[in-house]
């Protein structure tokens, strides 16, 4: 029996320029594939995340919102939550006319996640001069879960500090989903200057290590962060939406606010889409 081809697309998330942002491979499946196959394909792509979409057809449902199963794989393992690959999957479905709706629901290991197409009121639609089509300008708004954190064993501070080449550690928390460590440093400057030792990070407890610190007052940002996850086959993730699911509630409590402009060391952006080398990430908690 002939094998069915799989539709796929590689999307550079958080940028409008090729070879910038954070790449994610998006595969649209006509039927379910086994885990070994999906992991092998993700390893072959060898980008930070490869995601798989399978359309859900429910004849009894009264909802007109399209629904898809969504799973995410790094080059070495499946993960429970990924922001930039969900953004890439949403963009793929919206931009190629694969859904007739401005809202999509994804069934995932982290529950039901939603993506909305939001018109960009600050820019007018552009024209593709090659074929005369009007190119719609829009954002994709994701509704992601809050990831609770708990205080981690303070006896591990010296071990964590060693994995960051001696960086001063203020406190350590642990996320309750992937058991990533959220490590607070004294300042955003310390976050930028941190020198991760990836072999040491692999020996640390938990999954990955999120480091964060308060942004300088003059920067225009609320907090800085970086995410190291060599156990997942990614030394440093340029864009990490799932990390911000833990960062937002932490900084909401610290700063007494619910809207943030967050800066990641390998810069990424939603609003101005300027790419990997500059930008910001707005977070609403």
Q: Which of 30, 44, 49, 78 is catalytic?
A: 49
Q: Is 155 left (phi over 0), alpha (psi -120 to 50) or beta?
A: alpha
Contact yes or no for 245/147 (Cβ under 8 A)? yes
Can you tell me whether residue 111 is helix, strand or coil? strand
Contact yes or no for 242/178 (Cβ under 8 A)? yes
Parallel, antiparallel or unpaired: strands 103-108 and 67-73:
parallel
Parallel, antiparallel or unpaired: strands 223-229 and 281-284:
unpaired
Q: Is residue 171 flagged as an active site residue?
A: no
Which among 239, 168, 171, 156 is positioned nearest to 201, based on CA atoms? 156
Parallel, antiparallel or unpaired: strands 181-184 and 209-214:
parallel
Catalytic residue positions? 49
């Amino acid at each position: 029996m002939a094998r069915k081809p799989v539709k796929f697309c590689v999307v550079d998330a958080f940028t409008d320029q090729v070879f910038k942002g954070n790449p994610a491979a998006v595969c649209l499946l006509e039927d379910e594939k086994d885990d070994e196959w999906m992991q092998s394909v993700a390893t072959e792509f060898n980008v930070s995340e490869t995601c798989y979409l399978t359309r859900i057809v429910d004849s009894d449902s009264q909802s007109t919102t399209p629904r898809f199963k969504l799973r995410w794989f790094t080059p070495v393992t499946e993960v429970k939550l990924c922001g930039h690959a969900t953004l890439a999957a949403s963009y793929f479905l919206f931009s190629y006319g694969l859904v007739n709706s401005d809202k999509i629901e994804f069934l995932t290991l982290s529950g039901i996640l939603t993506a909305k197409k939001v018109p960009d009121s600050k820019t007018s639609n552009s024209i593709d001069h090659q074929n005369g089509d009007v190119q719609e300008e829009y954002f994709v708004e994701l509704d992601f879960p809050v990831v609770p954190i708990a205080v981690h064993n303070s006896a591990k501070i010296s071990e964590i500090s060693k994995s960051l080449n001696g960086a001063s550690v203020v406190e350590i928390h642990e996320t309750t989903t992937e058991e990533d460590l959220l490590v607070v440093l004294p300042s955003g400057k310390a976050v930028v200057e941190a020198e991760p030792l990836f072999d040491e990070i692999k020996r640390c407890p938990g999954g990955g290590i999120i480091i964060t610190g308060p942004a300088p007052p003059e920067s225009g940002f609320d907090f800085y962060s970086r995410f190291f996850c060599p156990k997942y086959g990614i030394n440093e993730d340029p864009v990490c939406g799932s990390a911000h699911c833990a960062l937002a509630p932490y900084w909401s409590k610290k700063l007494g606010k619910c809207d943030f402009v967050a800066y990641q060391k390998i810069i990424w952006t939603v609003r101005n889409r300027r790419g990997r080398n500059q930008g910001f990430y707005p977070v609403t908690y």
